[in-house]
Amino acid sequence: MAELDEFRAETRAWLADNCPAGARGPGPIPNGSTKIKIRDRDTLIWLDRMIEKGWTVPDWPQAYGGGGLDKEAFLILVEEMSRIRARPALSGFGTSMIGPTLLEFGTEQQKQTHLPRIAQAQVEWCQGYSEPSSGSDLASLRTRAEDAGDHYVINGQKIWTSGAHLADWMFILVRTDPDAPKHDGISFMLLQMDQPGVTVKPIRLISGESPFNETFFDNAIASKDDLVGELNTGWTVGKRLLQHERSGMQALVRAATSDGGLETSLTAVAKDSLGEAEGKIADPTYRAQVTAYEMNAHALRLAQRRAVEESEGGTPGPVTSIFKIYASELQQERNDLATRLGGYRGFGADRNAFTAEELESTRQWLAFRAASIYSGSNEIQRNIIAKRVLGLPD
């Protein structure tokens, strides 16, 4: 206990000295993409200092660029960052998804090659899972990888590929045995995006943004060294990666150091829109709704933390599906409330008639309609809970 108290004191002092004011509260969080230039000075300073400390990925081994913190020390760091509202210095698919997966399933060569680059913000990843005819039934995927001696040749298509236009590498599920039962003929591979056989086409969403893409593979090449796990066992690796995404250590730090990833607290939005009465939201009906949301959001973060604390390997198992369902529905509730609080100005679409903040509120409201679909639809998550948490029959 004395050692943890000493670590807390040292961490608090280090954060006070090294976390710039511009890295506290809402703001940009780098993802490591070589295609994005970091323009905010404080964000860059914070990233460099956290890389040197190993705290971009605090719970990873020091040999791979991490901080080597055990679970107790990591949680103290999360608490101290939350106390001063310090943003994570680095986020993205590298830290939250493929990194933890390689720690669990990767070869030593794969770890040495990829993990330090992720920790040092030198690479960003995207996810090649969904296909036009394989969304909720992901195991029916048809993108093929054929053995060509020292490499695999990949042909097919992925869709809804978040950030593919900015990513340097992709982790991808491919079919390597078309004659095996659909769950058994899938492999998990790593693939460089900047090669002639990969084409990325952005998908414009109703929100006006294009974070998702169609990705086409025309004789794309993946090295034999970039097969993760055994051939035809990729379904196991791919499922575990999704658990890291939904409630791993990196998900914990994002939740604990932000308002669920949202830029402004709902209470502040309500006070700004409706006014205050003795420090409270003036409208009692909205006051009750906002209070209920804030309490539920806080309860979710506490539940996520408890699940990680109680898990043996840092990332819980099927219980992550519960968090995914609840968090996505909570995000939608938050944005519904935020838009209603603004009245007609909460649904702005005309750039000439609405402020940038009002337009962003509308974009957020539209974008989060998809929260209960992406990362595995809520219906799929309920099936997982039924089978693997409650033990119900098929």
For residue 303, which of 284, 318, 319 has the smallest C-alpha distance? Answer: 319
323-350 pLDDT, tens digit per residue, is 888 888 898 898 888 888 888 777 777 7
16-74 pLDDT, tens digit per residue, is 999 999 999 888 999 999 999 999 999 999 999 999 999 999 999 999 999 999 988 98
> Residue 313: is its pLDDT beyond 60?
no
| Per-residue pLDDT, 247 | 55
Q: What is the pTM of this model?
A: 0.79
Which residues fall within 8 angstroms of residue 183, CB to CB, at 6 or more apart? 139, 235
Q: Return the structure tokens found at 13.
A: 């002092």
Q: What stretch of H or E contains 169?
A: strand 169-175
> Residue 259: is its pLDDT beyond 80?
no
Q: Angle at the Cα of 270 (from 268 to 271), degrees rounded to 5?
A: 65
Q: Angle at the Cα of 237 (from 231 to 241), degrees rounded to 5?
A: 150
Alpha helical stretches, state H, the chain: 2-18, 41-53, 71-83, 93, 99-105, 108-119, 234-247, 249-256, 266-274, 284-310, 320-341, 356-367, 378-384
Are 329 and 369 within 8 A, CB to CB? no
| Chain centroid, CA 232 distance in Å | 26
172/224 Cα distance (integer angstroms): 14
307/296 Cα distance (integer angstroms): 16
372/369 Cα distance (integer angstroms): 7
For the chain, the farthest-separated pair of C-alpha atoms sits apart, in whole angstroms, at 73
For the chain, the distance separating the N- and C-terminal CA atoms, rounded to the nearest angstrom, is 46
The DSSP code sequence of 240-294 is: HHHHHHHHSHHHHHHHHTTBTTBSS-HHHHHHHHH-EETTEES-HHHHHHHHHHH
Write out the catalytic residue numbers.
245
> Residue 261: is its pLDDT beyond 60?
no
Phi and psi torsions of 257, nearest 5° = -110, 15
212-258 pLDDT, tens digit per residue, is 899 999 999 999 999 999 999 999 999 888 877 655 555 555 555 45
